[in-house]
Structure 1
Amino acid sequence: MANLKDIRTRINSVKTTRQVTSAMKMVSAARLKKAQDDISHIRPFTSRLASIIQDLTSAIDEKIPVSYTVSGKGKLTLVLAIASNRGLCGGFNINVVKEVQSLLSGKLRDEYRKGNVLVGVMGKQIEKLFKSRDIKADFIYHELLFSASYESISGLANELMLEFKEGNLKEVILVYNEFVNAAVQAVQVQQYLPFAVPKSDTADELLDYILEPDPVSIIDSLIPKMLQTMLYQVVLESLASEHGARMTSMHKATDNASDLIRDLQLSYNKARQTAITNQIVEITGGAEALKGG
């Protein structure tokens, strides 16, 4: 059995760790609240914008091509993986990496072997994980996560749209964690480009409106805004998921530290009791020896 000093040292060490994990949990909880507010603001906007595009698309001849909705002329597919720059958030990062691996070994296997698949990375942690799995990161966007503003994210969206429009990219696929709640994050694989516009069942409602200049021109102006907003929402979803995952992970770590402290305290009490008992036995034995002498 370990001596009392070793057990005391370990108890103090675990207590220090518990203080750190508890503080990280509270910080993540505060950041999660802000991230949830951001998501609650952007989701209705994105949903309404998508609904408008759907209605307008239903009002035109489906054979009319609209910018960013037809397949790109290029041969390259970009897989953009979005996670975090920091760790200590459970399976948040590794789940994205596993999904990208699944894509590269499944749906995109043939194109990947031909060298027609590029990997973009937003998050230092998944870059490390990709490197350990011999997956090369062709593009790195870590700095966008430090201050994820609409201006910076829409700038990246504009770059992707330009590469797609100029024929350098055939498609863009996003892999990220969607925020469900603080304890649950769902990994999503979303086709970003070409933009898929589902048909709406409410096309007849547009008959009461005069559209100027025409539905196609309006859609052409709205889809770039939609793509900018979509990418911004995806980043916000990922950030909220990160804070939720880290808060949950630190909560579990704090609870585990408390359990370990209780076990160590019990071991300490047993060792102390054993030491006292041994001392009593030694004193009693010495006294009996003196009597016998």
Structure 2
Amino acid sequence: MPASMQEVKRRIVSTKKTGQITGAMQMVSTAKLNQIQKHAANYQIYSSKIRSVITHLAKSHLLDSSAVSGEVGKSQDGKVNTLSMIKQRPVKKTGIVVITSDRGLVGSYNSNVIKSTMDLIKNGNHNTEDTVIIAIGGTGADFFSKRGYNIVYEYRGVSDVPTFKEIRPIVETIVSMYDNEAYDQLVVCYSHFVNTLTSVFRAEQMLPISAENMGTDDLTEQDENDYQIEYETEPSQDAILEVILPQYAESLVYGAILDAKTSEHACSSTAMKSATDNAKDVISSLELQFNRARQSAITTEITEITGAQAALD
């Protein structure tokens, strides 16, 4: 067999093995996607309920009155006063939570999140001096660290289907940093899952929690009065907020991570399917090239045999 045909055959074997690997990875990613979609659907019920409660509190101006009357800061036992989550203060530093993956082979998932986050920083006239990064995922942590941004916290190794218990320490750290004025507002940036083929970038302000963030600016005066009289709090509105605000913060971060992980698995499945399909196309092209070379060699041998036979006659 000519050397060129041997090389083509080796490439065919190698590409087939690669296609088998990417095909297996596609099946794994699809299984993870199905699993996390079921988990996210169940969690969405809780998330929508807690958001509804906070929205109603914002519309009734309970958040505004607590922000004014509540004592914000550290309590005597050293724990974070959760009322600091609704405390408005001048924005000197902006914290950005960037959710990316820890690995590659996820198509354009990481690059889209990072590019959109950089655009957000640029459009907000921020720089490395007034921006701090909270990186969830190694890709984002490495990217922003190399470009001189202050990584105040990073978390690697998020589970394929993250649990609420796993994410809670992250939320506690984020809120504690806000309470200690490591930043004055916090934005969560991640890839939102639309469907298997489509994901869109989202940037949501998490802290401080305010009526503006809840989309209540378009209420009429009558609507506001109706909401104002809707709640009677016991023992006090501050005591209730100290329970509900951490749950809301946890739901925001956990929901964003869950959504981002769903998008990651979808991108990984799509990327591996594309790689498998490309491998099949390459194999078809190589097999055609191999068959043509073999047919040419056979034709040459027949011609040589025929010519030799004619010479003998």
Give the paired residue count. Answer: 288
* Cα root mean square deviation, aligned: 2.5
Counterpart of 2:86 in 1: which secondary structure? coil
Q: 1:103 aligned to 2:146?
A: no
Residue 57 in 1 paired to residue 71 in 2? no
Relative to structure 2, which stretch is displaced further, 243-252 or 186-195? 186-195
> Kindly tell me: are residues 277 and 105 of structure 1, through their superposed partners in 2, closer, same or farther at Cα, counting changes over 3 Å?
same
CA displacement at 1:138 relative to structure 2:
4.1
Which of 289, 293, 298 aligns to 1:271? It is 293
Counterpart contact for 1:53–1:219, Cα < 8 Å:
no
Q: How big is the shift at 1:203?
A: 6.8
Partner of 1:5: 6
Q: 1:186 aligns with which of 190, 200, 207?
A: 200
* Shift in Å, 1:24: 0.3
Output the TM-score relative to the length of structure 1. 0.88
Aligned equivalent of 1:43:
44
Deviations 1:86-106 (A, max 9, x none): 110100001111022112322
Distance 1:83 1:182, change over 3 A: same
Structure 2 partner of 1:167: 181
Residue of structure 1 equivalent to 2:70: none
User: Cα distance, 1:145 vs. partner?
Assistant: 4.3
2:281 counterpart of 1:259: yes
1:76 to 87, 93, 99: 93
The alignment's TM-score, normalised by the length of structure 2, stands at 0.83
Q: Which one-letter code corresponds to 1:88 in the other structure?
A: L
SS at match of 1:64: helix
Q: Given residue 48 of structure 1, which amino acid in structure 2 is its aligned partner?
A: K
Q: Are residues 62 and 101 of structure 1, via their aligned partners in 2, closer, same or farther at CA, if it must alter by over 3 Å?
A: closer
Residue 59 of structure 1 contacts residue 215 of structure 1 at CA under 8 Å; is this kept in 2?
Answer: no
* CA distances 1:28-59 after superposition (whole Å, capped 9, x unpaired): 01111111012101112111111112223333
Distance, in Å, in 2 between the alignment partners of 1:138 and 1:220 is 25
* Residue identity opposite 1:37 in structure 2: K
Letter in 1 for 2:22: T
Contact kept? 2:197, 2:270, Cα under 8 Å: yes
Query: Which runs of no fewer than 5 residues in structure 2 stay unpaired?
Result: 68-82
Kindly indicate whether the alpha-carbon contact (under 8 Å) linking 2:61 and 2:228 is maintained by their aligned counterparts in 1.
Answer: no
Aligned-partner Cα distance in 2 for 1:25–1:203: 54
Q: How does 1:191-202 map to 2 (within 5 A)?
A: 191-197=205-211, 198=214, 199=216
- The runs of 5 or more residues in structure 1 that have no matched partner are none
Q: 1:34 to 1:121 in 2, by over 3 A?
A: same
* SS of match in other structure, 1:185: strand
2:170 to 156, 167, 173: 156
Moved more, 140-149 or 51-60: 140-149
Tell me if 1:238 matches 2:260. Answer: yes
Counterparts in 2 of 1:16-27, with a 5 A limit?
16-27=17-28
Q: Residue deviations 1:127-179, cap 9 Å, x none?
A: 34445655564432113446732123121111111221233321111111111
Per-residue CA shift, 1:190-244, capped at 9, x if unaligned?
1111123333758737857643224454234211110011111111111111100
Matched position secondary structure for 1:3:
helix
The residue type equivalent to 1:80 in the other structure is V
Contact residue 84 and residue 125 of structure 1 kept, 8 A: yes
What is the distance in 1 between the residues matched to 2:184 and 2:17?
Answer: 52
Q: Which residue in the other structure is 2:135 paired with?
A: 121
Compare 180-189 and 272-281 and name the one that shifted more. Answer: 180-189
2: CA distance, partners of 1:167 / 1:134: 21
Change over 3 Å in CA distance of 1:141–1:147 after alignment to 2: farther
